[in-house]
């Protein structure tokens, strides 16, 4: 949430600065306009860069669950890009009121009751075409730990971990890339039983 607020603040500052600059250019060119220039700045996602300390994969245990960590490794597998619904609009069957419900990790859940005070409706239908329904790009990657020659144990396969990429981070790496991933550790239903979330 804090990174989203920082991204919004940067967006606001950048928009105001570009509008002021566009107005100055209009005055220099001698163009007169009653309206302020419209500047379209795309969505800005704030990210934490050079986060320390790096956590070795062997130290990633249950005590790291829910904590923000940084890992370094080699990308060994990149999954297909899929849509992930993060907010779904639901229409009350009784009164027709529309409400938007956040879906954590894309897990589908229905509202428990209608938000209208005079309605007691408990049946809802999803509205996938509503502007209140939000989907983002999502991708799964697998990262393998980096090991120097002195760290190698005979006969042991290097540890791997599944990571989730969302929004603008999707399609940002290919197998063989050496990456540093920061995110919140979470449990997922992969074969290893653990994963990382990078949003």
**What pLDDT is attached to residue 37?**
67
**What pLDDT is attached to residue 194?**
42
Largest separation between any pair of C-alpha atoms in the chain: 75
Question: In sequence order, which residues have a C-beta less than 8 Å from that of residue 117 and are 6 or more positions away?
Answer: none
d(CA 174, CA 30) in angstroms, rounded, equals 50
Is residue 158 within 8 Å of 129, Cβ to Cβ? no
The two structure tokens encoding residue 111: 């509202």
| DSSP state string for the chain | -HHHHHHHHHHHHHHHHHHHHHHHHHHHHT---SSPPP--PPP------S-SPBPPGGG--GGGTT-EEEEEEEEEEE---EEEEEEEEEEETTT--EEEEE-GGG-----SS-SSTT-----EEEETTSTT-EEEEEEEEEEEE---GGG--TTPPPPEEEEEEEGGGTT---TT-EEEEEEEEE--SSSSS-EEEE-
pLDDT 10s per residue in the chain (199 long)?
677 787 778 888 888 888 888 877 777 777 666 666 677 777 777 777 777 788 777 777 777 787 888 888 888 888 898 888 888 888 888 887 888 888 877 777 788 888 777 877 778 888 888 888 888 888 888 888 877 656 566 657 788 888 888 888 888 888 888 888 888 888 766 444 444 544 4
Whole-model pTM?
0.65
């Amino acid at each position: 949430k804090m990174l989203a607020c920082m991204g919004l603040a940067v967006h606001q500052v950048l928009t105001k600065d570009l509008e002021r600059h566009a107005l100055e250019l209009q005055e220099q060119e001698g163009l007169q306009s009653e309206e302020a220039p419209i500047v379209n700045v795309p969505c800005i996602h704030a990210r934490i860069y050079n986060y320390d300390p790096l956590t070795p994969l062997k130290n990633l245990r249950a005590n790291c669950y829910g904590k923000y960590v940084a890992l370094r490794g080699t990308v060994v597998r990149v999954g297909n890009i899929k849509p992930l619904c993060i907010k779904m609009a639901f229409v009350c069957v009784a009164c027709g009121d529309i409400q938007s419900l956040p879906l954590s990790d894309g897990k589908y859940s229905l509202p428990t009751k209608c938000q209208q005070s005079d309605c007691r409706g408990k049946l809802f239908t999803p509205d996938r075409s509503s502007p209140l329904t939000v989907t983002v790009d999502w991708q799964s990657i697998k990262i393998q730990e980096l090991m120097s020659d002195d760290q190698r144990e005979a006969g042991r396969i290097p540890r791997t971990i599944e990571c989730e990429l969302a929004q603008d981070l999707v399609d940002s790496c290919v197998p063989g890339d050496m990456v540093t991933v920061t995110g919140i550790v979470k449990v997922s239903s992969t074969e290893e039983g653990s994963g990382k979330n990078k949003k």
